Every structure is written in structure tokens, then in C-alpha cells.
Structure 1
Amino acid sequence: MHPPARPLDARGSSSRSSRHSTVPTARLPATIYALTAPIEMISKVRSDPSVILRTVLADGAVAGHAAVFGPPSEREVTYVIGRAHWGQGIATGALAELIKLEPTRPLHADAAADNAGSIRVLEKCGFVVTGKSRCFARAREQDIDLVHLTLG
């Protein structure tokens, strides 16, 4: 059994307990399922001690998740926030808390070039655009322009 992911409270209020139980799947935002990998991959990620995986909370409710992963020279951040929580500072708050937990620099991130909101979240947290490329996006089932960002 894997230890439960610890929460990040994106609104800055403290959790009542330092323990966080696994959230029942029925409570997770549907947008997370559209973007997550199969259960086997998630289990592998959760068992990797170098991965920092956190549930994002907004006013005590699950809003999404955020993680840091990868080898020391290529540490990368990722996050998914449910659509109902967009535009409220939830992603920015969660990412700001997450990068405090990871001392390794540089940290890397990628965002779809047309996802201005996500690029802005990363920039607010100190990331700068360091490159661009094209790649296949499984969620969109097409090639997209990608922006690479780095936090030094």
C-alpha cells in the first residue's frame, strides 16, 4: 500500500491534521480523469520516493493535484486543477507551495502554447520561457506547440 498523498491547501489555510487519507475517487474532479495515466503508472509514480505528489485543496475540497518528478538534473513540475477552480489563484497558490518543497534547481515545466493561463501561473511563480517545440498531445489527439519554462 502506498502512503497517501499529502494535501497542498492552495488558499493558505492550514489542514486540521498533518495526515491526509486517500480521497475517494467519486470526489475527484472529472477533468483529472481525462488527463491522468492508467492506474499502473500512477502506482509506479506514487512508489517512487523522489516524486513529490500532493492533492490540491481549495477551502477543504479537492481541486486537483500537483507533483515534482524526474532525476535531479531534470526535475519537472506538473499540476492539474479542475475547471471549477480556474481563475481563482488555486493553481498559482498550489505551485508556489509545491516549489517550496523541492530545493533542486533548475525546475522545468511545459505548457501548451495556447494555454495562457498555465503559462501565467508558471511565470507568477518565477518560471521563465526557455524554449518552444511541437509534440503530440494525447489529451487533444493532435500535435501542439509547447512552451518550455525553467525556474533557476
Structure 2
Amino acid sequence: MVDQALEALMTEVALRPVDDSDLDALFEQMRDPESVRMAAFVARNPADRAAFDAHMAKIRTSPEVTIRAVTADGRLVGSVGSFVVDGDTEVTYWIDRHFWGRGIAGRALALLLESVRVRPVFGRAASDNVRSLRVLQRAGFAIVGTEIAFAKARNAEIEETILRLDEPA
């Protein structure tokens, strides 16, 4: 655990706009089976490249979406963003599984929250995704409820935890 904490401190995490050259790597990250299972709420078919490309083109141009590439020591390791659904702003993040446990998701979320100043802002995670819930809570999000929803990655209804951040980070 100490080694992971030290490694996180030594890792420079930054955000930048998503570039066309990032799309192949992001597509691969978002179809990793273990990552997909943990995220639970994913695209209908994570292996559908045409659907991925159409989705990325849409969100990269939407005024209601902020999407950023996450880099660690200059290397692309995931994405983080915010979007509006039913009038509420929500955050999302996806970190390459090979970089889990290094504090990168938490740092990327903190950086995003510095630029996305809308409050309240919401986060959601499968209730059994303890690490993701911990990332949100460390960023100041508080659990405000749960709901049962269909998780495409698990082909089942599961419990999802809803979190809310009221004050700027």
C-alpha cells in the first residue's frame, strides 16, 4: 500500500483535450473485459468501433459535455468528463486497468472539478465497485441514494450508488 501511495505521488497526472490520435487507445481501454465488468453501465456493445466513434464524435462537439484525456507522466491512461442528463451534471472517468490503484482517477477527477464548477454535480457507480465509490467520496461526494438499474456489462439489474458534490472542490 505504501508503494502505491508513493508511486501516485511521483506520477504527474494531467488533463488535455481528447485528440483523434487518442481514440484507438481509448477504444481498447473501454473494451477491456475486467474494466467493463467493474464499470457495469457501458455501451450496448463495447466492441462496436463504429458506435464508439459515433459516440465520441457526438460528445466531443456537445456544449453539454466536457471530455478530457487523462495522462500520467505524459502517457495516455484514460479519460474523465462531465455531461448533463435530465438537467443534472454528472461526472465520469475511465482509467486503463493497468494503472488502477495509483491515485490517478482521484487526481484526474480533482482536476476536472477545478474546471467544471457547476454544483451540485453527481457521480454514479455500481454499488459493488468499492474503488470507484472511494474515488468519488475522497473528492468530497456524499452518497445520496441508490437505485436498481440494468447494467449492460453484466446483463442484469444491479444496485447503483448515486453521489452528490455540493461545494466546489
- Regarding TM over 0.5, the answer is yes
Identity %: 34
Detail structure 1 runs of 4+ shifted over 3 Å in the superposition: 11-15, 18-21, 24-29, 33-37
Q: Does 2:125 correspond to 1:111? A: yes
User: What pairs up with 1:13-24 in 2 under 5 angstroms?
Assistant: 21-24=19-22
The answer on whether the counterparts of 1:29 and 1:64 sit within 8 Å (CA) in structure 2 is no
Instruction: Work out the CA distance in 2 between the residues paired with 1:19 and 1:76.
Output: 18
- Deviation of residue 24 (structure 1)? 4.5
Please point out which of 158, 164, 167 is paired with 1:144.
Answer: 158
Instruction: Work out the CA distance in 2 between the residues paired with 1:89 and 1:26.
Output: 24
Q: Does 2:145 correspond to 1:131? A: yes
Match of 2:39 in 1: none
Residues paired across the two proteins, number: 140
- Deviation of residue 41 (structure 1)? 2.3
Instruction: Work out the CA distance in 2 between the residues paired with 1:72 and 1:143.
Output: 21
- Deviation of residue 32 (structure 1)? 1.4
Q: Does 2:29 correspond to 1:31? A: yes
Match of 1:56 in 2: 70
Q: Deviations over 1:24-56 (max 9, x none)?
A: 444447331355642222222111122110011
Please point out which of 116, 120, 123 is paired with 1:102.
Answer: 116
Instruction: Work out the CA distance in 1 between the residues paired with 2:13 and 2:56.
Output: 28
Match of 2:136 in 1: 122
Change (3 A) 1:106 1:21: same
Instruction: Work out the CA distance in 2 between the residues paired with 1:85 and 1:92.
Output: 12
Equivalent position SS for 1:87: coil
The answer on whether the counterparts of 1:29 and 1:63 sit within 8 Å (CA) in structure 2 is no
Match of 2:80 in 1: 66
The structure with the greater share of residues assigned to helix is 2
Could you tell me which runs of 5 or more consecutive residues in structure 2 were left unpaired when the two chains were aligned: 1-10, 37-41, 44-50
TM-score normalised to structure 1 length: 0.81
Instruction: Work out the CA distance in 1 between the residues paired with 2:55 and 2:27.
Output: 19
Comparing both chains, which one has the higher relative contact order based on Cα–Cα distances under 8 Å and sequence gaps of 6 or more? 2
Could you tell me which runs of 5 or more consecutive residues in structure 1 were left unpaired when the two chains were aligned: 1-10
Match of 2:8 in 1: none
- Comparing 34-43 with 56-65, which one deviates more in the overlay? 34-43
Q: Which amino acid aligns with 1:55?
A: A
Instruction: Work out the CA distance in 1 between the residues paired with 2:18 and 2:155.
Output: 35
Q: Deviations over 1:75-97 (max 9, x none)?
A: 00001111101000000000000
